[in-house]
Amino acid sequence: MNLTNDKYFEIYICHMANKSASLTAQDGPGRRSAEHGAKTRERIEAAALAAFSEMGFEAASTRLIASRAGVNPQLITYHFETKLGLWKAVADRTFEQLAARLGERMRGLEGVADDERTRLMLREYIRYAAEHPEIARFMAHEGARTGPRLSWLVERHVRPIFESMQQGIREAQARGSMPAGESILISYVLIGATTMFSQAAEFELLTGRDPCTPEMIESHADLILGLLMPNREN
């Protein structure tokens, strides 16, 4: 199963890499100003991601986001025009970073046997989810109801990754490496398996343990791999 080794994800990675390059490439005397502006954008986007993840789009005001970023609220209008423009920039940056991480891991596994490659890519996904629980929280707010934002998000970012995952699962099932069943259901089993990281506060209250320690992350990955690929060592 090459979880991220198919045409959908390859095209997606190239698209996001080109977008990132076009935003950062600039020469001449305006370079210093552009770098300062880029750092300001990064602070705003980081604050916005935290706010959108905590309270959703409607409740997260631009004034609150500006306050958390330590900038004048007018800079949000200057860099992003509207709150929706900021939200889209946050989504682009968030999924760009995910694609870069998985893409780098994918390239590092060239020549590795399919099943081993699958296990390592699944483990990488679980690690990333543990390191960035804000992504699941962000998606939980948006995925709870239909609307223009969710449609945009699915078509621009979610579908390429999801279709890649589906293809990989079906290939693994054909080899007998993963359980039979609808690939879409297995995908959501995997997505749901990262809930303990996005709900870390609840987990800690129930168990008295931090789910995001390296030991806990690896133990959880071992368990998920054992469930999804039961006939192999992990």
Write out pLDDT tens, residues 17-39: 555 544 444 455 556 667 778 89
Q: Which CATH class is domain 7-228?
A: mainly alpha
pLDDT higher than 70, residue 65: yes
pLDDT band at 5 (very low <50, low <70, confident <90, very high): very low
Under DSSP, is residue 37 helix (H, G, I), strand (E, B) or coil?
A: helix
Q: Identify the pLDDT of residue 1.
A: 41
Cα separation of 157 and 161, whole Å? 7
Phi, psi of 213 (to 5 degrees): -75, 150
Contact 193, 141 (CB under 8 A): no
pLDDT higher than 90, residue 192: yes
Cα separation of 128 and 133, whole Å? 8
